[in-house]
Amino acid sequence: MATELLFRADAYLKTATARVTTASERGIELDRTIFYPTGGGQPGDTGAIVRAGGARIPVIDTRKGETPDRVLHVVAPGNPLPEPGEAVTLALDWERRHRHMRLHTALHVMSCVVVAPVTGGQIAQDKARLDFDIDLGLLDAARIEREVNAITARGIETETVWISDAELDARPELVKTMSVQPPRGAGRVRLLRIPGVDLQPCGGTHVRNLAEIGPIRVLRIRNEGKRNKRVEIALAD
Ligand SMILES: [Zn+2]
């Protein structure tokens, strides 16, 4: 059964109620969830599934299930599992997720400051990186830091928009990330728009306003291969 992805419409939900659909050693599936499953370089969420009696089942990771529209909540071993049909409350590790959202949105901004194809990317709680197909000599840490911070300081509101597969096919320039092609086949594709800055397909979670990111620092720039010049950033605060 498909899981309704509540974070798609509202990335700020810290808690929600849901119903268990399946539960096994592999993980728990729910009719709906606020937990983001690993994908697009963003780690899966952690937190807890709370049973009616108050027992907390720690969620140590969230992954896509057997099909991309299913979500598997991976729980710490040794916990009694809930029954299918059981009503539960979801509690997200919000502090960790919000850092993912800030860093993820910062990567969107950086992909506009560095004008080159993106060949990879990864987000963690404390740092994030993008790989570019560019001459290493063209990457200037001080300039990237200054320009990203100048854009985020403008406090622009971000927007989620949807376009049809056909529209996306007609505008291939929207896809900057060569390593992550947007999922097609559902008829429509989700895009993140930062008005005046960026528009690209992305299924991840983002901050509402760029000001939430705060200043970033460039940690290092290094050569990771012919087409992979890596820029690693961190939140400055
Ligand atoms: Zn994104």
Instruction: Say if residue 183's pLDDT is above 80.
Output: no
For residue 182, name the pLDDT band (cuts at 50, 70, 90): low
Report residues near ion ligand 1: CB below 5 Å. Answer: 192, 202, 204
Cα(88)–Cα(162) distance, integer angstroms: 31
DSSP letter at 70? -
Count CB atoms within 10 A of the CB of residue 225: 11
- pTM (2 d.p.): 0.93
What is residue 179's predicted lDDT score, i.e. its pLDDT? 61
pLDDT band at 90 (very low <50, low <70, confident <90, very high): very high
- Contacts of 122-125 with C-beta under 8 Å, sequence gap 24+, read 122/41, 123/41, 123/42, 123/43, 124/43, 125/43, 125/96, 125/99, 125/100
Buried-exposed string 15-24: b where 16+ CB fall within 10 A, e elsewhere: ebebebbebe
Q: What is the pLDDT of residues 2-59, one digit of tens each?
A: 999 999 999 999 999 999 999 998 999 999 999 999 998 999 999 999 999 999 999 9
Q: How far is the CA of 113 from the centre of ligand 1 (A)?
A: 15
> How many angstroms separate the alpha carbon of residue 32 from the centre of ligand 1?
21
User: What is the tens place of the pLDDT at every residue in 98-151?
Assistant: 999 999 999 999 999 999 999 999 999 899 999 999 999 999 999 999 999 999
Please give the sequence-ordered ranges of beta strands (E in DSSP) within 43-168, or none if there are none.
47-50, 56-64, 71-75, 87-92, 118-123, 128-132, 159-164
Between the CA of 41 and the centroid of ligand 1 the distance, in Å, is 9
Residue 215 CA to residue 218 CA, distance in Å, equals 10
Q: Which residues contact 4 (CB under 8 A, 6 or more apart)?
A: 31, 32, 33
What's the CA-to-centroid distance between 101 and ligand 1, angstroms? 8
C-alpha 105 – ligand 1 centre gap (Å): 6
Rounded Cα distance, 127 and 107, in Å: 10
